[in-house]
Structure 1
Amino acid sequence: MDKLTLNNPLFATYVIAASLTILKAVAMSWLTVVRMVGVKGGYRSPEDIKKTPMNPAPDPAQLLPNERVERIRRIQMNDLESLPYFLVAGLLYILTQPSLLLAQWLLYGYVASRLLHFIAYLTGQIHEIRATFWTVGSLILIFMTVRTLISAIGA
């Protein structure tokens, strides 16, 4: 399994891309908390409106949906729907020993598409802009997966 070491530039490329997407996804949880604290609302659980030092003046309205908080939750859900596919597809793809340049374009291209999708979603861009960035990432996943499948069938 010398292919799965950081001495292998293909694997190192995958590790960098995977780490960036994981950190971005984890950051969404923190951003949700920051937004909830900032608007003092958008909470989901009844215990969230109990009086505490962080919430000295609880109000049942704090459990109502807040669009600023919900937008981050939707972005996070989108990450959770796509990140596992990327992690698996990317790892399997590098095992096919593609050219390093192509792997870098695909893996880093996926990361870039997800970051651009995040920015478009966060800033409320029209659906077509957000969908374009999502489509780029999706096509990268499809390409890597089909290429991996073809390699496995041919083996």
Structure 2
Amino acid sequence: MVQLMDSEVFMAFTTYAAIVVLKMLLLAPMTSYYRITRGAFSNEEDVAGKSAEEKKKLLRTHPDVERVRRCHQNDLENVVPFVMIGLLYALTGPELSAALLHFRLFAASRIFHTIAYTCALPQPSRGLSFLLGLLVTLSMAYRVLSAALFL
């Protein structure tokens, strides 16, 4: 375990994994902020104590809220696999420069994806950032399979 903690690749992985996980976690309070400021709630208990008329107005969807919520869902579908594959990738002993390239590209793609999603940038900006992150994860998965199965 001590040897792993001394690995520059592993330390780089933990740094970039922490960055993308923190970014993903920040989307939850961002969603709450948008719900409150846009007056758009999805559950009855969120508007408890309000009059029936106020509940009708507040129990609705709003494009800004939905955009952030979908971005968060997309992060769950992409960041979690990156963390799992990235850990295995770091254990294969890749060159530091190659590992940094993978980790930095993934982190940059997810940060840009969040900006593109929340700011409603025109396509293909969001699609390209998603694709870049996916390709990085697939590249690391290939390395893991190559090392483990001698492909």
Q: Which TM-score band applies after superposition, normalised by the shorter structure?
A: over 0.9
Question: Gapped runs of 5+ residues in structure 2?
Answer: none
1:98 deviates by 0.5
Structure 1 counterpart of 2:45:
47
Structure 1 counterpart of 2:4:
4
**SS at 1:127 equivalent:** coil
Whole-Å Cα distance in 2 between the matches of residues 97 and 61 of structure 1?
56
1:4 deviates by 2.8
User: Quick check: 57-66 or 16-25, which moved more?
Assistant: 57-66
Whole-Å Cα distance in 2 between the matches of residues 104 and 2 of structure 1?
21
1:3 deviates by 4.3
Determine which structure has the larger helix proportion and give its number.
2
Question: Gapped runs of 5+ residues in structure 1?
Answer: none
Deviation string 1:43-62 (CA, Å, 9 cap, x unpaired) is: 1111111237xxxx943221
Indicate if the aligned counterparts of 1:3 and 1:11 stay in contact, CA closer than 8 A. Answer: no
Structure of higher RCO (CA pairs closer than 8 Å, 6+ residues apart): 2
Does structure 1 residue 129 correspond to structure 2 residue 107?
no
2:148 to 139, 149, 152: 152
1:80 deviates by 0.7
Deviation string 1:75-98 (CA, Å, 9 cap, x unpaired) is: 000001111100111000011101
Aligned residues: percent identity?
29
Deviation string 1:15-46 (CA, Å, 9 cap, x unpaired) is: 001101110011000100111111122x1111
1:2 deviates by 3.8
Structure 2 counterpart of 1:22:
21
Indicate if the aligned counterparts of 2:85 and 2:137 stay in contact, CA closer than 8 A. Answer: yes
**SS at 2:124 equivalent:** helix
Structure 2 counterpart of 1:33:
32
**SS at 2:94 equivalent:** coil
TM-score by length of structure 1 reads: 0.90
Indicate if the aligned counterparts of 1:110 and 1:140 stay in contact, CA closer than 8 A. Answer: yes
1:145 deviates by 0.1
Indicate if the aligned counterparts of 2:102 and 2:136 stay in contact, CA closer than 8 A. Answer: yes
TM-score by length of structure 2 reads: 0.93
Deviation string 1:75-133 (CA, Å, 9 cap, x unpaired) is: 00000111110011100001110110110110111000000111111111222111111
Residue identity in the other structure for 1:85: P
Would you say how many aligned residue pairs link Structure 1 and Structure 2?
A: 150
Indicate if the aligned counterparts of 2:64 and 2:118 stay in contact, CA closer than 8 A. Answer: no
Q: Provide the aligned C-alpha RMSD in A.
A: 1.8
2:105 to 97, 109, 120: 109
**SS at 2:42 equivalent:** coil
